[in-house]
Amino acid sequence: MFPVGPAPWPRLRVLWALWALLVVLLAPWRLWAIQETQECTWQVVLNNLESVGKNDAIDHFVDQELYTVDKVFDLLVDAPIDRDEVRGLGADEWERPWSCTLLGSGHLLTISLQTYLGFPYYLKINYSCTGEVSPVNFHRWKIEQLQIQMEAAPFRSPAERCDAEEMCLMSWYTPMPIKNGSVVMRVDVSSNGLGPFIPNKRFHVNINGFLERGRDHELQFTVGNELFHLIPRHFVNVPSRPLWYTVDQTPVLILGGIPEEKAILLTDTNFKDFFLVELSIDSCWVGSFYCPQASFTATIYDAIATESTLFIRQNQLIYYFTGTYTTLYENSHGSERWVRVLANECIKRLCPVHFHSNGSEYVMALTAGKNEGYVHFGTITDGLVSFKLLPRDRSVCNAILVDNCSITWAVFIAGDYNLLMLVEIVGPTSSKYFQVVSYDLVSDYLVVLYTIPEFIPDARGLEFLMILGTESYTNFPMVPKGMSYNPYNNLLLIWGNFLLQSFNSENFIYLADFPKELSIKYLVNSFRGDMAIVTENEEIWYLLEGSYQVYQLFPSKAWEVYISLQVLQQSSRYAPNETMVTLFYEDNKLYQLVYLIDHPHGRLIKRLMPVEQLLMYQQISKEYVLERQGSHLTLSFSNFCPFTVMRLQELPNPQIYTRQERYRAQPPHVLEPWGFHSENSLAVYQGLVYYLLSLHSKYDKPYADPVHDPTWRWWKNKKQDQDYYFYLANNWRSAGGVHVDMTSYEKIYDLKAENELPERIFLDKGTSYSFSVFLTTRKPEVQHGPSFQVLSPVDLAVVLADPDCIEAMVKEKVLVNRNSVLFWVTLSDKRSCFDQGISGHHLMKTSMLVKVLGSSGHCFQNTNRGPRMQSNLMVPVLIGCPPGKRLAFDITYTLQYNRVQNKHYFDCVKVDPEMPCFLFRDIFYPFFLIQDLVTGDSGSFQGSYVLKVVGGGPTLDTIKEYSEEEIYRFNSPLDKTGSLIWTTENTTTTEDLAFNIMSHNSLGIEWLCLENSPCHDTIPHNIFAPEFFFKVLVSNRGVDESTYCDYQLTFLLHIHGLPLSARRAFLILLVSASLFVGLVILYIVCCLLSPYMVKLCNILRWKINSIIGLESNYTYSTPSDSRAFSHSGTVSWRSSRLNSRVVYKGAEENKAET
């Protein structure tokens, strides 16, 4: 199935980190011929089902509906596909051999029938090379990080005429999955290394809920009208503006600031491509005495994007628009038009909240005029927007006892439910000063945290200065303009014509490297240890968090050197005249959106900001020495990096800490000589990937499977025939020309570390993360004396954002013979800063920073993607119950143990393998499993838990939820009302004695169903004993101190053989006895009266026969028909014989009686 050649095709992998996709490509022959010196890169676009094979087709992620591919699966008669699962849902057939039926919801879990469906898009992958050769919430969905690794399928374009027997124009295709609860997807494309080197590349393929298909099936925006021409006046010499959005959650980004136009830039690919959209808003301007407005403008000044909703500010008005996302909400809350909110308020600024929390996103609106001193706090939950005024009881001005104040900026710290406000206060003498005010949303408590100095401190040549109140000041006034907060390291920055930083919001440090003559316009934070600073005159500065040195990137000598090199390389991404539109981080790299004026119309491009290269050039330009060697001068550079090699070692397998689940899927093997796929085989690939993900979604169920693997159910009945299917494929006899390999669809549990720290670390209670850092030093220091000792010239520091919650231990070993130092680092949780929570919810954000002292901004590592900064490794740490851990009912061991303990087991008459029954009179011994969906670990739950019956009913349709008062009565051993459903011999109870505490060593449960319980006196619906379904809640919250996880499991328990109440049993006995006695009496009566009844019957029969005989003696004849006489005579003769027999028999009976 591979082409004849020197080696198999390299395979392209695709990974979804969710939601990420990793593709493995099969590289064509002509790609091998490309010289290694050329720079090749992957290109990814979306193709819908009708665009497969079209060379220039590019689609956007709009459709969220699934399609059936049942017709193509009907062809696979000899394949390991369960025929009962391939059920068509009925629909229109397209002009292809497989059906494509719109299902409408897009939800993986809402399909009642088990069927193979298809996703609405394919991922089309190509490559391009430079040179001569020119050849893609948690209220409803569980929190998880899911990846699927797919191998791309080669597909030859049918649009190109191909006369040669060799490779023709081709692309690679993979399905583009949709996952419930996610609209942001990252696609990582890589090759397997065969052929020329092509670096891995990441693409953002997000769902755009602000596009829809019109009546002509053309795409159109719901927020406005697309403008197809970029006019230079929209960008040339226009100030840059910040890009605000919810980090890692926002599929569509927007950017305003286009002068005198109610238009925005909109993108669903992080500005790989974009749209200029004129918004359909009313553009009202309501000026009044409480909202003074100097002039009217159509410009959109503030724009914020969240997961599903866009917010804009024009003049003093705020509008929002909610996109249509059926994968997020069961009932889409998509807007039909822009909604004006806070219409009677004078809004002067929108402030973003960069992180979601508690299942919601947030946005803040600062008011002016009549409500000066208040903040309108907006909450977005499930696409629904609401605002509330804070503080609740009084304004900030009244709370801090001033007459005139104004809120300049606001920052929301979601983890503490705390609102920080930068407040400008006008004193009695019209002098202005600023304070940082904290407001607690829970307690409604407001306090002043810090008063900002009125003037710039005199640092006197220092890099930083601790503000203690005793320092001297210059004559330059401090003019604060905003604040920035990083929840991972608790770093609060106050910025204006200065930079103040604090890790506790009380003690501040002044960064003296930033010039006081400049004024900061906005900050761009990566939230991974570094940030960019943009000033009012469009200068770009750079700051490493944890250090105190601020670097100027643009304009600078290093920038001039870099631009000169780009000109020499004839790069098309730089021009003499350009204007920066915005600056933003993507995947920990800094990017610019720049308008280039290199032709009459200009163009807008996204390009990488080469931070590492600029810092290297700065270091080289400042630290060099000219030394004379003989008759000529030699140029030498000073390297201030204290080490030559920095390497991470002994890293543990990442999945247990990153909590990333990964599946592997390969395309079906095609029985085609060259290995090219067809539309049919691609449709099969779609259905297989869908079913793999649907198994993942359905696996999160209360009853645990015998095998802890979501794919176990898929192939459990087909594994024994695996060799047969392989035989068919090897002999080219597979039905439909496609072979499905069962081993190609599996969950991966053993990913290996890649010699770098993970993107984030999750720590449960008492867990730890360990690794080692290997450093080769430049100049060893030797101490002579009684004992020879090598001193380490490098020191490793581990900075913790919350030392009260986590701790780090560093051990050092000097390797003398290698001129190196090895550091072992162990990060551990201290069991003190987090209560129990549901898996993946309400995690505490903190961080660990590993740095080599004296190396910040000086150490770089050359890679195939350019230089990479070393020595500052910041890792976010999330403390709490990690995602992917769950409690499951171990039905397999429970049945086994109950059978042994009770000496028998009786199931229900109607057996349900998914929900076995338990007998009422038997002692019930439940067992539970702790399952790790990420690592595949599954073991018996050894902790303590509380079991409660929270609902129930005699049938599945009549199950009702119990109130809190009913739950107490039905489950508490303190109940005195005769309502207990169950009891146990365990004596351990909760602190308030309200409920029993159970464990795996418990003595079991005895069912009671007392008189006032809902299961008492259950009416049977047939001849079998009554049944009852109990809805049981099991939780370890408050009784198990071994984990941060609040394991909450709710499952149905089917109990049969319930006894009847004494009254109903007596009534049934009375009715049964009455029926029995009645039947006996009836039998006796029948026996006594039977002779008389027989005699009476005989008399009646004799009379009836006599009447029949007399009537038969009559003869009917017609003169004209002689046959009538003959017929009548015959009847008369037969009747006479019958009559004589009846008379004779009757005479004998009378004689016998006498």
Backbone angles phi, psi at 820, to 5 degrees: -140, 165
Task: Report residue 178 as tokens.
Answer: 């949709």
Of the CA atoms within 13 Å of residue 451, those in its CB half-sphere come to 7
Structural contact between residues 452 and 478, judged by C-beta atoms closer than 8 angstroms: yes
pTM above 0.85, yes or no: no
How far is residue 936's CA from residue 716's CA, in Å, rounded to a whole number? 18
Q: Which residues of 634-646 are buried (b: 16+ CB within 10 A; e: fewer)?
A: eeeeeeebbbeeb
DSSP conformation class of 91 = -
Phi-psi map region of 475: left, alpha, beta (phi>0 left; psi -120 to 50 alpha)? alpha
Helix/strand/coil for 1048: strand
Nearby residues of 615 by Cβ (< 8 Å), 6 or more positions away:
542, 551, 558, 857, 860, 869
Q: What is the edge-to-edge ordering of all strands in the sheet holding 844-852?
A: 761-763, 872-879, 844-852, 796-800
Helix/strand/coil for 657: helix
How far is residue 1075's CA from residue 1073's CA, in Å, rounded to a whole number? 5
Q: Which residue has the tokens 């903040």?
A: 375
How far is residue 245's CA from residue 247's CA, in Å, rounded to a whole number? 6
How far is residue 126's CA from residue 42's CA, in Å, rounded to a whole number? 6
How far is residue 439's CA from residue 1015's CA, in Å, rounded to a whole number? 51
Q: How far is CA 216 from the centre of its chain?
A: 34
How far is residue 423's CA from residue 316's CA, in Å, rounded to a whole number? 20
Number of residues assigned to the chain: 1154
Q: Which residues of 855-892 are buried (b: 16+ CB within 10 A; e: fewer)?
A: bbbbbbeeeeeebebbbbbbbbbbbbbbbbbbbbbbbb
How far is residue 218's CA from residue 973's CA, in Å, rounded to a whole number? 66
Helix/strand/coil for 833: coil
Residue 380's alpha-carbon distances to 320, 323, 724, in angstroms, are 11, 13, 55
Predicted pLDDT at 80:
72
Q: Which residue has the tokens 């017929």?
A: 1127
Q: Which amino acid does the sequence have at 700?
A: D
Of the CA atoms within 13 Å of residue 470, those in its CB half-sphere come to 2
Which residues, in sequence order, are bridge partners of residue 542? Answer: 532, 551
Structural contact between residues 1125 and 1117, judged by C-beta atoms closer than 8 angstroms: yes
pLDDT averaged per 10 residues, the chain (length 1154): 32 39 42 42 71 64 66 67 47 32 34 59 64 39 79 77 60 84 86 77 89 85 91 92 94 95 94 93 65 78 95 93 86 84 91 92 92 93 92 92 94 94 89 94 94 93 90 94 95 96 93 95 95 97 90 94 91 91 95 89 92 90 72 78 92 94 91 85 88 88 91 86 87 86 91 91 96 86 47 83 95 89 96 89 93 89 86 93 94 95 90 92 95 93 94 94 95 93 90 90 91 88 87 94 93 92 77 89 87 87 84 51 40 39 41 42
Q: Which residue has the tokens 């100095």?
A: 453
Predicted pLDDT at 431:
85
For residues 716, 721, 723, 729, the Cα torsion angle rounded to the nearest 10 degrees is: -100
- Reported as type and span, the H/E element at residue 19 is none
Q: Which residue has the tokens 């809805």?
A: 1031
For residues 683, 685, 686, 689, the Cα torsion angle rounded to the nearest 10 degrees is: 160
How far is residue 447's CA from residue 1124's CA, in Å, rounded to a whole number? 126
Predicted pLDDT at 8:
32
Task: Report residue 1124 as tokens.
Answer: 């009538």
